[in-house]
Amino acid sequence: MSDIVKQLDYIFKPRSIAVIGASENVTKWGYRVLERPIRTGYKGNIYAVNTQAKTILGKPSYASVKDIPGEIDMAVITTPFKQVPVVMRDCVEKGVKGVVLISAGFAETGLEGKKIEDHVVKIAREGGIRFVGPNGNGIWSAAANLNITFDLAPKPGNIAFISQSGTFGEYLVEMARNRGHGMRAFVAVGNQADLSAADYIEYFSQDDETRVILLYMEGVKDGRRFIDVCRQAVKKKPILLYKSGSTEAGTRAALSHTSSIAGSDIIFDHACRQAGVIRTQESFQTIEMAVALLHQPLPSGRRVGIVGTGGQGVVSADACQKLGLEVPEFDNHTAMQIMQTLPPHAPLPRNPVDFAGGYRTAMDEARTVEALMKLNYIDAVITNVPVNPLVWGLRIEKGDSNPRLQEAIKVAEEGIGYLCRLPKLYKKPLVCVRWQLKSSDDPYEAILIEGGVPIYDTPEQCARAIYGLVKYAEFRHR
Amino acid sequence: MSDIVKQLDYIFKPRSIAVIGASENVTKWGYRVLERPIRTGYKGNIYAVNTQAKTILGKPSYASVKDIPGEIDMAVITTPFKQVPVVMRDCVEKGVKGVVLISAGFAETGLEGKKIEDHVVKIAREGGIRFVGPNGNGIWSAAANLNITFDLAPKPGNIAFISQSGTFGEYLVEMARNRGHGMRAFVAVGNQADLSAADYIEYFSQDDETRVILLYMEGVKDGRRFIDVCRQAVKKKPILLYKSGSTEAGTRAALSHTSSIAGSDIIFDHACRQAGVIRTQESFQTIEMAVALLHQPLPSGRRVGIVGTGGQGVVSADACQKLGLEVPEFDNHTAMQIMQTLPPHAPLPRNPVDFAGGYRTAMDEARTVEALMKLNYIDAVITNVPVNPLVWGLRIEKGDSNPRLQEAIKVAEEGIGYLCRLPKLYKKPLVCVRWQLKSSDDPYEAILIEGGVPIYDTPEQCARAIYGLVKYAEFRHR
């Protein structure tokens, strides 16, 4: 086991934690970081540290971390920044192995704060403690069911998200959860006084349950090491990066936010490309791309087959070509074959395939997608989320008591299930775009997501998802 | 009243309609276009035309439109394409004024279909009928509460949406409705055999209730007239265009979808810029921008003030600068003044203003926004959707029976109401970005939307919204 794995396991898989600065005042960090792990079911021991109380939120409370009986793997510190040197020293004396330092008021406020921060780093380093922060929103770890960040814990999954912004990172995770996607871990890196993004990347690249690493960064400390670590990590799993602070105003903001010096974006961007890091244009696109990279096979080329109804197919084709993907035209023979899978009124397909309003069943759509996947000049497929006019029609005709309805639902589910199996069968990725609003009683989207086929709101998002897969595949093959 | 207004009023404000090809078979267009206006409360007379039945869905049914007693302003035709010439001639003989031709099988299928289409146009022109389509999904009009398109009718509003794709256009409208935004009208233009995008633009530019015109186009017929009409229309209201078919694959797809010849995108793009049409990079961005243009004042310049928490402010600043907007730095004196409106732990603001996690109340946030609006070198403001820790805290402390809770809710509502009044007061636009998921029981977002302040999911969307306002303002002032 490498040093970094040993050290960070104490933070992401602690057997016991102490919350220093614990409080029953709901407006304080000391309340949140104690209440959340208790409420969301952390299984290790939790101790509170507070000079005033005997118990806090039902947990025993001690005047100092040193008074706690038994070992403490990790301490969460929320005390005012001036007390942090003393508290950190207490942690060293107690033999604490890892710390999440929530407190703010350090380098991000100026030179004086930077001095205290350096002092804290010195105490921790000499005492063998690695720490997250300061000036972050904490961590969440599926491995330990440990939540000191989220009001509502994320769904466990396979994305490790390393974020320089606490609130913004939290919001991205909430958006992901809202779309049904889980996380392996989240860490708000804060000022990166001790542990930096490179350390977390190195750690999660060695965690088998992490399949994609996501980064929101404002500035990178020790750029050379960051790039070196990334270069190694992407051999095992993709790294998706959104880096802000790429403009003058953004740089100014990043400096006051997390004391980040953004540096030359052009040089950094070039280094990322060389290292195989996929950098997105917009912040939310990392999550979009991650979802496809989690479950879909990597394509062998950049040639995309598109199944869509009317405008959706046109927009998908445009979006693919704008990103440098290819949308090869079918020859006559292939077009005639694909046509046999289409509704009778559909035009001769040239790529995109226009299914002209609706398939009768999801299985019919799966047949078209399969016809495209069979082509040796198609590497990936975009299609519409199947809707089920058969189910819908029968429901309208005679309501849910319609004797043919159950049969129609079964047919729909079989078709969607078949669609989900195609990517594995043909080793070609598949993504879906909505063309109607998801209705709350529609069970079919859940089958797709469960089957690993990502669903997007717009054709442009689909094209970007394929682009992410293509970029990572090209990097792995080079 | 201009000719186009007279003619299109028969289509968008008909006093009576006939559905030709009406059916009780739920899978047919003849069912949908009759069932929808009935169910969604169209107030004029509705007649069915079908050779087989005496009544359809409770409406009297006639063998021919000519048998209907009384005048018919508009007919919806869904019969197979081969019957359309005869049906159109019947409409002429009946004295029908406008037609929505849903049927497909015309120019989009090839030369033979094109011949029939030309023939139908000739009959209509000679008989004084203007028509929508063929090969479209119909229209929706708030002016007549007439819905022959949507399963769930849009919310009435002030956007006229002219779409070359029926299904894709419908989906965009559904997305808008889902976010609380209404429409004045929707028209799926189909093959544009008679009425073209230019005609609809000319019509809606003269409709006082239409404040923004939205276009999804694949190809433009008679480009010169299109541009001329746009040039006139944008003097009254903004036109937002997404045009697909800009790449080779997109062009191919557009041709088979709506028989559109995309032409040279570079020349078209240049003409749009000259005419003051705002063209978006992605399909859904038209809706995003429209929402800001509907309610917010036009800025006098492109200098943006940003209030955000941490990462959100950094990303907003980057996104603004990437679009060519400016994010001017505050001088020391101003920074000190703004600081007085911030929570005590916030850093000195330089633009963006980092409020560092949370205001105590929405009024505190409104005070910061107001301080920015007062600056003569700030033309527009981006801020976070206010969240109300005061309300939230009191609810957690003692539940909804907390005596101070009602007071806190009142304070929150006052603050948000104040925020909504600032754009009008200072004649500077304001847009908000979420930084937490909207919870279903949060009433505050509704106050913002009601107050005309648009809410976006991402900082990049906010920046684009401001960009749309700036572009339109610059065009109006030139």
Report residue B478 as tokens.
């030139």
B76-83: average pLDDT: 95
- pLDDT score of B440: 55
Whether A314 sits inside 8 A of B389 (CB atoms) is: no
B374-395: average pLDDT: 85
CB environment B30-61: b (16+ within 10 A), e (fewer) = bbbbbbbbeebebebbbbbbbeebeebbebbb
- pLDDT score of A417: 95
Q: Nearest C-alpha of chain B: how many angstroms from A394? A: 9
The answer on B416 and B385 residing in a single domain is yes
- pLDDT score of A251: 72
Contact indicator for B384, B312 with CB cutoff of 8 Å: yes
The answer on B428 and B387 residing in a single domain is yes
The answer on A457 and A425 residing in a single domain is yes
CA B23: distance to chain centroid? 31
Rounded Cα distance between A214 and A212, Å, is 6
Whether A26 sits inside 8 A of B345 (CB atoms) is: no
B92 touches chain A (CB under 8 A): no
Q: A129-182, pLDDT tens digit by residue? A: 999 999 998 999 999 999 999 888 899 999 999 999 888 898 999 888 887 889
Q: What residue type is B279 in one-letter code?
A: R
- pLDDT score of B259: 61
CA distances from B95 to A21, A142, A328, B51, B144 (A): 83, 71, 49, 20, 20
The answer on A287 and A305 residing in a single domain is no
CATH number for the domain spanning B176: value is 3.40.50.261
- pLDDT score of A438: 67
- Domain membership flag for residue A404: yes
Question: Which chain A positions have a beta carbon within 8 Å of B347's beta carbon?
Answer: 108-109, 256-257
- pLDDT score of A440: 55
- Domain membership flag for residue A147: no
Sign of the alpha-carbon torsion through A154, A156, A157, A162: positive
A163 touches chain B (CB under 8 A): yes
Say if the ipTM goes beyond 0.85.
Answer: yes
Closest of B233, B206, B52, B224 to residue B215, by C-alpha: B233
Type and span of the H or E element at B74: strand B74-77
The answer on B101 and B57 residing in a single domain is yes
B167 touches chain A (CB under 8 A): yes
Which of A52-56, A132-136, B71-75, B246-250 is the least confident region?
A: B246-250
- pLDDT score of A444: 81
CB environment A315-349: b (16+ within 10 A), e (fewer) = bbbbbbbbbebbbbebeeebbeebbebbeeebbbb
Q: How many CB atoms sit inside 10 A of residue A113's CB?
A: 19
Contact indicator for B142, B177 with CB cutoff of 8 Å: no
Determine how β-strand A59-62 pairs with β-strand A45-49.
parallel
B435 touches chain A (CB under 8 A): yes
Q: Is the pLDDT at B258 greater than 70, yes or no?
A: no
Q: How far apart are the first and last CA of chain A?
A: 29
What phi and psi, each to the nearest 5 degrees, are found at residue A397? -60, -55
Q: Nearest C-alpha of chain A: how many angstroms from B405? A: 15
Rounded Cα distance between A43 and A147, Å, is 11
Type and span of the H or E element at A74: strand A74-77
Domain that holds residue A33: 1-135
The answer on B389 and B259 residing in a single domain is no
The 8-class DSSP code of residue A359 comes to -
Q: Which among A257, A434, A457 has the least Cβ separation from residue B310?
A: A257
Rounded Cα distance between B142 and B146, Å, is 7
Contact indicator for B260, B219 with CB cutoff of 8 Å: yes
CB environment B207-241: b (16+ within 10 A), e (fewer) = beebbbbbbbbbbbbeeeebbebbeebbebbbbbb
- pLDDT score of A175: 86
Contact indicator for A339, A349 with CB cutoff of 8 Å: yes
> How many CA atoms lie less than 13 Å away from A273 in the CB half-sphere?
6
In DSSP notation, B278-292 reads EE-SSTTHHHHHHHH
Question: Which chain B positions have a beta carbon within 8 Å of A312's beta carbon?
Answer: 165, 167-168, 171
- Which regions of A357-463 does DSSP assign to beta strands (E)? 380-384, 430-433, 455-456
CATH number for the domain spanning A17: value is 3.40.50.720
Determine how β-strand B16-20 pairs with β-strand B74-77.
parallel
On the question of a cis peptide bond just before residue B134, with omega within 30 degrees of 0, the verdict is yes
CB environment A222-249: b (16+ within 10 A), e (fewer) = eeeebbebbeebbebbbbbbbbbbbbeb
Contact indicator for A460, A319 with CB cutoff of 8 Å: yes
Percentage of chain B surpassing pLDDT 70? 94
Question: Which chain A residue's Cα is nearest to B282?
Answer: A460
Q: Is the pLDDT at B16 greater than 90, yes or no?
A: yes
Domain boundary among B244, B277, B295: B295
> How many CA atoms lie less than 13 Å away from B293 in the CB half-sphere?
30
Q: Is the pLDDT at A262 greater than 60, yes or no?
A: no
- Domain membership flag for residue B368: yes
SS3 B329: coil
Whether B247 sits inside 8 A of A322 (CB atoms) is: yes
- Domain membership flag for residue A62: yes
Q: Which among A104, A218, A350 has the least Cβ separation from residue B252?
A: A350
SS3 B474: helix
What phi and psi, each to the nearest 5 degrees, are found at residue A238? -70, 150
Highest mean pLDDT among B384-398, B399-413, B447-461: B447-461
Number of independent structural domains in chain B:
3
CA A245: distance to chain centroid? 21
Rounded Cα distance between A43 and A142, Å, is 12
Q: How far apart are the first and last CA of chain B?
A: 29
The answer on B211 and B87 residing in a single domain is no
Domain boundary among A260, A295, A330: A295
Whether A310 sits inside 8 A of B248 (CB atoms) is: no
Q: Which among A249, A318, A320 has the least Cβ separation from residue B317?
A: A249
The answer on A424 and A286 residing in a single domain is no
Whether B311 sits inside 8 A of A244 (CB atoms) is: yes
* Strand order across the beta sheet in which A59-62 lies: A55-56, A59-62, A45-49, A16-20, A74-77, A98-101, A130-132
Q: What residue type is A265 in one-letter code?
A: D
Query: Which of A306, A318, A351 should we substitute to test contact with B (largest number of B Cβ atoms within 10 Å)?
Result: A318
A309 touches chain B (CB under 8 A): yes
With bands split at pLDDT 50, 70 and 90, how would you rate the model's confidence at A435? confident
Rounded Cα distance between A417 and A427, Å, is 16
Q: Is the pLDDT at B401 greater than 70, yes or no?
A: yes
Report residue B450 as tokens.
């009601």
What phi and psi, each to the nearest 5 degrees, are found at residue A419? -55, -45
SS3 A186: strand
CA B143: distance to chain centroid? 16
The mean pLDDT value of chain B amounts to 91
Interface of A with B in 53-82 (CB under 8 A): none
SS3 A202: helix
SS3 B149: coil
Q: A39-90, pLDDT tens digit by residue? A: 999 999 999 999 888 899 999 999 999 999 999 999 999 999 999 999 999 9
On the question of a cis peptide bond just before residue B352, with omega within 30 degrees of 0, the verdict is yes
CA distances from A203 to A2, A13, A208, A214, A290 (A): 9, 12, 10, 13, 19
Report residue A19 as tokens.
């919350």
Q: A360-379, pLDDT tens digit by residue? A: 888 999 999 999 999 999 99
Question: Which chain B positions have a beta carbon within 8 Å of A258's beta carbon?
Answer: 310
Closest of A264, A201, A265 to residue A236, by C-alpha: A201
Q: What residue type is A334 in one-letter code?
A: T
Q: A212-251, pLDDT tens digit by residue? A: 999 999 888 888 899 999 999 999 999 999 998 777 776 7
- Domain membership flag for residue A213: yes
The answer on B365 and B452 residing in a single domain is yes
- Domain membership flag for residue B362: yes
- Domain membership flag for residue A179: yes
Q: How many residues does chain A have?
A: 478
Domain boundary among B261, B295, B329: B295
The answer on A192 and A264 residing in a single domain is yes
With bands split at pLDDT 50, 70 and 90, how would you rate the model's confidence at B396? low
- Domain membership flag for residue B142: no
> How many CA atoms lie less than 13 Å away from A352 in the CB half-sphere?
35
SS3 B18: strand
A377 touches chain B (CB under 8 A): no
The answer on B221 and B342 residing in a single domain is no
B164 touches chain A (CB under 8 A): yes
The answer on B399 and B303 residing in a single domain is yes
Rounded Cα distance between A70 and B264, Å, is 75
